[in-house]
Amino acid sequence: MTRFVPAIFLLLAVCACATAPAPVVYGPPGDPGNPVQGPFQPNAYLQVCGGMSVSNAPVFYPGGWVADFKPVIVVDGVVLVTVPTNDACLSSGFGYRGGRLHEGIDLTHRPAGTVYAAAPGRVVEARMSTGYGLQVLIDHGRGVYTRYAHLAHTDTRVRVGQPIGYGQPIGVMGQSGNATAIHLHYEILTGNYRNPKGSKGLSVHDPFRFPAYEPALTGY
Structure confidence by residue, pLDDT tens digits, 65-123: 999 999 999 999 999 999 999 999 998 887 666 777 768 899 999 999 999 999 999 99
Q: Count Cβ atoms within 10 A of the Cβ of residue 75 and give its class: 0-12 exposed, 13-18 middle, 19 or more buried.
A: buried
d(CA 17, CA 10): 21
pLDDT (mean) for 122-150: 95
Structure confidence by residue, pLDDT tens digits, 186-217: 999 999 999 999 988 899 999 999 999 987 55
Task: Tell me what pLDDT residue 74 has.
Answer: 94
Task: Tell me what pLDDT residue 101 has.
Answer: 72
Domain 47-65+85-209 matching CATH 2.70.70.10: the answer reads: yes
Taking the model in full, what pTM does it have?
0.83
Structure confidence by residue, pLDDT tens digits, 163-185: 999 999 999 999 998 888 999 99
Residue 8: pLDDT band (50, 70, 90) is: very low
pLDDT (mean) for 47-72: 86
* All structural domains of the chain with their residue ranges: 47-65+85-209
Residue 26: pLDDT band (50, 70, 90) is: very low
Burial 29-59 (b: 16+ CB within 10 A, else e): eeeeebbebbebbbbbebbbbeeeebbebbe
